[in-house]
Amino acid sequence: MKIILLGAPGAGKGTQARKIMELLSIPQVSTGDMLREAKAKGTALGLEAGRSMAKGELVPDAVVVGIVSERLKAPDMAKGFILDGFPRTLAQAKALHEMGVAIDLVLNIVVDADEIVERLTGRLTCGKCGAMYHRTFMVPKKEGTCDSCGGGLVQRADDNEATVRNRLEVYKQQTMPLVEYYGRFGSVKEVNGTGKTPEAVFNAVKGLLGS
């Protein structure tokens, strides 16, 4: 199954992608994770991408499309995959189509803007396994430490209020049109995430996946 997860930053795409990955045994392809990895390695591409990410702006389409098209050629993609954070612009969606990728399902997770800001500014991520926590809503058992792998928890550099507000604006302008784009192919299903726990959202997602 080839799935796209749409939704504003902080809507829960990463969390749901990880749950779907376990359920269906298909890999998650997160462009945000791949770009952060390139930045951490200090590659020229990673450092350039890091500048856009720090401002809450999108990395150029050509860069992201290049990374994704390489990733999709890997053998583990054959059974299907979950695209998390890609496509984010109409140009990216068209490039994906031109790669010959037929998408089975587009899940659009919808969450109110105020809740998004609250979620992202309190979000903590495990630097080792990527698990997510929240200072108020999902407190780890031991402060600063991941419950599942013991890794250290960090706040993402772009999870501060000013950058979050810019990311939301960019989402509205450049990514929201994709809901209509994929709607034309009849493949979009909406999930309400406002005020919902990750487990409640996943129950709805499972229903839509027919699992």
Q: Which residues are catalytic?
A: 13, 88, 123, 156, 167
- Between strands 153-154 and 123-126, the pairing is antiparallel
Report the candidate in 111, 93, 81, 158 with the shortest Cα–Cα distance to residue 12. Answer: 111
Contact 133, 124 (CB under 8 A): yes
Q: What are phi and psi of 168, to 5 degrees?
A: -65, -40
CB of 58 to ligand AMP, least distance (A): 4
Query: Where do contacts with ligand AMP occur on this chain (CB under 6 A)?
Result: 9, 31-32, 35, 52-53, 56-59, 64, 85-86, 88, 92, 158, 167
CB of 16 to ligand AMP, least distance (A): 13
Measured from the CB atom, is 16 or 92 closer to ligand AMP?
A: 92
Give the C-alpha separation, 169 to 65, whole Å: 22
Contact 59, 49 (CB under 8 A): yes
Q: Which residues contact 7 (CB under 8 A, 6 or more apart)?
A: 13, 107, 108, 109, 110, 111, 193
Measured from the CB atom, is 42 or 186 closer to ligand AMP?
A: 42
Measured from the CB atom, is 62 or 203 closer to ligand AMP?
A: 62
> What is the chain's alpha carbon radius of gyration, rounded to the nearest angstrom?
16
CB of 9 to ligand AMP, least distance (A): 5
CB of 37 to ligand AMP, least distance (A): 11
Residue 155, CA distances (Å) to 62, 67, 114, 124, 126 in order: 28, 25, 19, 5, 9
Measured from the CB atom, is 35 or 201 closer to ligand AMP?
A: 35
Question: Which residue number is nearest to ligand AMP in terms of Cβ?
Answer: 32
